[in-house]
Amino acid sequence: MNDTLTTGSLTVKIIVLLIAALLLFAPFLFQDIRSLEVAARICVFIVLVASYDLLIGYTGIVSFAHTMFFGLGAYGAAIALRQMGPGWDAVLTGAVAGAFVSLILAIAIGLLSLRVKAIFFAMITLAAASVAMVLASQLSQFTGGEDGITYKAPDLFKPATKLAVTDDGKVARLFGVRLNGKLAAYYFVFITCLVLFLLMLRLVGSPVGTVLKAIRENEARAEAIGYRVVAYRTFVFCVAAVIASLAGTVYAIWLKYTGPDTALSFTIMIDILLMVVIGGMGTMYGAVIGAVLLVLAQYYLRDLMGSAAEALSNVPVLPFILEPDRWLFWLGIIFILLVYFFPQGIAGTLARKGDKA
C-alpha cells in the first residue's frame, strides 16, 4: 500500500521533505533561542517516536518502557559528562553505556514476556518503566534525584565557541546568524537525528521490514510460514531500545541538563503515544508529522490557550475549557477519537486518499 506512489502518499512525502528542509535551515529561518529549542526538540522526538513506531506500527506490540530507554541514554551521557568532565570521551562513554544497558534490558524483557502473550508485554514494560522512575529518584547520588543533573557539554558546543572569526576576531555571521557553538550543537542534533532516522527507514525498507509487516498483518500465518515471530519481535524491540537510548543521549547533550521531567517521566511516554497515533502508525513518516505537530502545540498552543482563557475570563464556561491545565484533558479526548475514527493517523489517512482516486 505504501509502496505504490499515490497522490496521497506523495503528499505525505512532500510534507516530510518540507519539514526536513525547515529543520535544516531552522537556525537561519527563526533567529531566536526559543525557536531553536523547539527545532532541536522536534529533531529528537522524531527519532524517539519513529523508533517507537518500529515497535507499535511494525510489530503491533505496545511498550510503555520507551521513556526508560530514552532516559537510560540521557542519564548515561549526563552521568559521564558530570563525572569525566566535558569531552567527547565522556559523550561516547555515556552513549555506549546507555545503549548497552538498554540492549540488555530489552533482551531480558523481550525474552521474558514476548514469548508469553503480547498483552503481558504492555503490562510488564509499564511495571519496568515505573521501577526505573523510582530508581532514578532514589539513587540520588548518581542521578541527582528529583533535581536531576546539570553539566557542561563538550567545548565545541559552548555558546562562546567561535566556529569562524572575522578579521577583527569577532564571531563571523552568515545571513545574520552567529557561527557559534550553539549553532554547532544544533547541527550535531540535526545530523545525528537525520542519520538515525534514515537508518530506521532503511531497516523498514529491507527484507526484515517486509517480514515485520507480515507478522503485523497476521501473526499466526507468519508463524506458520516459518518466521520466528518471537525472535523478530525481540530484535525490533532491541533496535528500538538502542535508538531511543541514543536519542536520549543527543537530547542530554543539547539540554545540558537531565532530570526525571526531561528524560524519564510518564508524560513523555504519553507524548510519544500521542505523536505516533496522531501522525500515523506503521509509516515512519507519521512519526515526523506527529512529532512536529505535538511539539509545536506544546510550545505555542498552550500559551495561546492561556492568553485566550485570560482574555475571555468574563465569559462563562470558555475560560474553563481553555485553561492551560486542561491541555492534557483535551489531548486525551482527541487521542481517543483519533484511535476510534482515524486509526491510521494523519500520514495513513492522507496516503489512503490517493488509493481511492
Partner 1 sequence: MDQLRMTLERFGGVNLLPVAVAAVAFVLIGAPSSWVTLTVAGLAMGMMIFLMASGLSLVFGLMDVLNFGHSAFVSFGAFVAASVLGWLAGWLGSDSVVLNAAALFAAFTAAILFGLAAGWFFETVIIKPVYHDHLRQILITMGALIVAEQIILAIWGGTPMNVPRPGFLEGSIIIGDVAIEIYRAFAFLLGLIVYVALFATLNRTRIGLLIRAGVENREMVEALGFRIDRLFVGVFMVGSALAALGGAMWAGYETLITPALGAELMIVVFIVVIIGGLGSIEGTLLGAILVGLVANYVGFLAPKLALASNMILMMAILLWRPNGLRPAVR
Partner 2 sequence: MTLLSLKSMQTNIDQYAVLHDVTLDIPEGGVFVLLGRNGAGKTTTLRSIMGLWKPSPGSVHFRGRDISGLHTAEIARLGIAFVPENMGIFGGLTVQENLVLATANGSFDQDRLERIWRLFPALETFWTKAAWSLSGGQKQMLAVARAIIEPRELILIDEPTKGLAPSIVDAMAEAFREISNNTTILLVEQNFEFARALGRDMAVIDDGRIAHTGTMSNFVADKDLQDSLLSLSA
Query: Which residues of this chain interact with partner 1, rule CB under 8 A?
Result: 56, 60, 62, 112-113, 115-116, 118-120, 122-124, 126-128, 130-131, 134-135, 138, 266, 270, 273, 277, 325-326, 328-329, 331-333, 335-336, 339-340, 343
Q: Where do we find the cell 525474552? A: 111
Please give the Cα distance from 297 to 299 (Å, whole number): 5
Closest to partner 2 by CB, 140 or 218: 218
Q: In the numeric block, which cell numbers belong to residue 53? A: 513506531
Closer residue to partner 2 (CB): 221 or 228: 221
Q: Which of 35, 137 has the CB closer to partner 1?
A: 137
- Minimum Å gap between C-beta 214 and partner 2 is 12
64 near 129, Cβ under 8 Å?
Answer: yes
**DSSP sequence for 197-220:** HHHHHHHHHSHHHHHHHHHHH-HH
CA 109/CA 131 separation, integer angstroms: 13
Shortest Å, Cβ 71 to partner 1: 16
List the Cα angle 155/159/161 in 5-degree steps. Answer: 55
Residue 17 binds which of partner 1, partner 2, none (CB < 5-8 A, kind-dependent): none
- 113 contact, one of partner 2, partner 1, none, CB 5-8 Å limit per kind: partner 1
Which residue of 31, 140, 166, 218 would you call a contact of partner 2, by CB under 8 A? 218
Cβ atoms of 67 and 264 closer than 8 Å: yes
Greatest Cα pair distance, the chain, in angstroms, is 72
Our CB check for partner 2 shows the closer of 89 and 217 to be 217
Quote the least distance from Cβ 334 to partner 1, whole Å: 9
Tell me the C-alpha distance between 78 and 258, whole Å: 6
Alpha-carbon distance of 49 to 271, in angstroms, equals 9
Q: Does 166 bind partner 2 (CB under 8 A)?
A: no
Give the phi and the psi of residue 356 in degrees, each rounded to 5. -75, -35
The binder of 336, among partner 1, partner 2, none, by C-beta within 5 to 8 A per type, is partner 1
Considering only residues 198 to 217 of the shown chain, the ones binding partner 2 according to CB under 8 A are: 217
Binding site for partner 2 (CB under 8 A): 217-218, 221
